[in-house]
A = this chain, B = another copy of it.
Amino acid sequence: MSVGGLPREEVGMMMGLGGVALGDPPADYGSIAAVGMFVALMCVCIIVGHLLEENRWMNESTTALLIGLGSGTVILLVSSGKNSRIMVFSEDLFFIYLLPPIIFNAGFQVKKKQFFRNFMTITLFAVVGTLISFSIISLGAMGIISKLNIGALELGDFLALGAIFSATDSVCTLQVLSQDETPFLYSLVFGEGVVNDATSVVLFNAIQNFDLANFSSFKFLQLVGSFLYLFGTSTFLGVATGLLSAYIIKKLYFGRHSTDREVSIMMLMAYLSYMLAELLDLSGILTVFFCGIVMSHYTWHNVTESSRVTTKHAFATLSFISETFLFLYVGMDALDIEKWKIVSETYSPMKSVALSSIIVALVLVARAAFVFPLSYLSNLTKKTPGEKISIRQQVIIWWAGLMRGAVSIALAYNKFAKSGHTQLPSNAIMITSTIIIVLFSTIVFGLLTKPLIRLLIPTRHITRELSALSEPASPKSFLEQLTAGGPDPENSVGIRRPTSLRMLLASPTRSVHYYWRKFDNAFMRPVFGGRGFVPFVPGSPTESSVPLLAPVNES
């Protein structure tokens, strides 16, 4: 995947946000003030998000977006509209620093049992579904947008639009769907979201690097081939890095000397897998996602207990901070007035609204066009009615995947702001429309999701007891609920089996799962460690729980 393509000046903005200047302090203060202000705003987001936790409308993403918009407005007013480039959305910042922790954590915390059991359905939605969505949006854009007289748009531009707006926002999805109330839907929509991100990015890059001038069916096959190649190699790289980390930690047994080394090596190797994928032009998202899955299956079991607690929460925290940063950033970036000026000078205000509305309509149609047929297909393979996806659930799946987020913005910048800085009006209007769509879909669709779920799934179906568990928001308690739902031979806890949300379990998937378990136990775990295969070293704190609970230091 090609990251960047922005001029060197913007690469420099990556972390320092070097161009930020409130008023006109000396250059030294610029980056400190920017970073400081951002950190302060993130604190505000976290506190406000906490206070609004009980609110049935808001979620953390929307809160951060609105705070970002608000503070952007304040800065714009303070600088009397002069500082149009308050903050530049740097793709590198997004793809190198913010996205990896979010996606890695998604893989690390994903309920593997549930994920792999629904693997067929998730893949169907995320790969075939995204391709359908991509085709419909591209064709629709070609048919309708070309009549708007926006400017010289080529075939590549329309295809890019299709890829850009096929990327659902998995970060926001995570927050509007409650893992406690709708575990099956959550697993499906979330799983789809992660793989869909990867699909869109891979698709986008395949289009970018492709000679579209003479398109033929042979070339189309080539496109499909390179897509599958990217998918396979990226997954392989992630799995390999994860296994390497498990092997290193198992062989060297870092915990003997220091917890910090274990945690560091897990962090660094996960990041390394992403970086390697980017360097090799693969999909870093897929790689780091599978690296997270492998690490939680093998590596995590090889480390000491303190490292286990630490990694579980530290990765979640890093991901949480990145998400908050991201939405804050997107909110502030929406107020970069330079683009809006270019757009308003060339087009009537209605044209930008019309363009955005058309794309939103296309997104709505395109998602409906694959969710309902593919659900029907998926239901054909299921035997009992409880395993099928009901119409109400299909509506929620359709709705919860409508949000478009930072991936869309990053891809849009890559496509339409590559050369120079959105000087072409046709490029500028694409960027502003993307921002309008992201804000609209996140805020409007996001706000309506919770009420919609309450409307469609009556409260008696929502397993109330579960929310009384000790750690409502923790992934582990969610896991317990998930594993409790399915017919799981290993599950000794067996809390309860909610009938309406019974797990889907097609027989072919089941037998694959069975052979995988045999192989895992016979070969993989003895080599790479994992639950039940970690040698007990005397003197190591692996088995004692008391030290963890003692205070770190006393006054």
Contacts and interface: CB of A to CB of B under 8 A. Distances in A.
Contacts of A213: none
A240 interface: no
A466 B271 CA distance: 36
Nearest to A43: B268
B296 A50 contact: no
A307 B112 CA distance: 24
A475 B258 contact: no
A346 interface: no
Interface stretch (A227-235, A274-282, A362-370, A500-508): A274-282
A471 B541 contact: yes
A531 B531 CA distance: 35
A373 to B, nearest CB: 32
A551 B531 contact: yes
A171 interface: no
Interface in A1-53: 2-5, 8-9, 11-16, 18, 27-33, 35-36, 39-40, 42-43, 46-47, 49-51, 53
A110 B35 CA distance: 27
A547 interface: yes
B12 A110 contact: no
A381 interface: no
Closest 7 CB pairs of A and B: A12-B12, A15-B15, A36-B275, A4-B28, A310-B313, A314-B314, A263-B317
A553 interface: yes
B531 A554 contact: yes
A112 B554 contact: yes
B18 A12 contact: yes
Interface stretch (A157-165, A297-305, A334-342, A383-391): A297-305
Given A14-B31, A261-B46, A471-B541, A272 B310 contact: no
- Tally of this chain's copies: 2
Contact of A9 (B12, B257, B276, B474): B12
Contacts of A479: 552-554
Given A11-B12, A296-B553, A310-B313, A470 B547 contact: yes
A473 interface: yes
A268 B321 contact: yes
B260 A320 contact: yes
A272 B39 contact: yes
Contacts of A554: 112-113, 479, 483, 490, 531
A550 to B, nearest CB: 6
A252 B476 contact: no
Interface of A: 2-5, 8-9, 11-16, 18, 27-33, 35-36, 39-40, 42-43, 46-47, 49-51, 53, 92, 96-97, 108-113, 248, 252, 254, 257-261, 263-265, 267-269, 271-272, 275-276, 278-279, 296-297, 300-301, 305-314, 316-317, 320-321, 324, 468, 470-477, 479, 483, 490, 517, 520, 530-531, 539-541, 544-545, 547-555
A266 to B, nearest CB: 9
A238 to B, nearest CB: 15
B31 A92 contact: yes
Contacts of A324: 264
Contacts of A279: 29, 32-33, 36
A4 B3 CA distance: 28
Given A36-B279, A260-B317, A477-B547, 10 more contacts: A11-B31, A31-B96, A42-B268, A47-B265, A53-B257, A258-B320, A300-B552, A306-B309, A308-B551, A479-B552
A11 B5 contact: no
Contact of A313 (B3, B263, B555): B263
A532 to B, nearest CB: 10
Contact of A555 (B112, B278, B473): B112
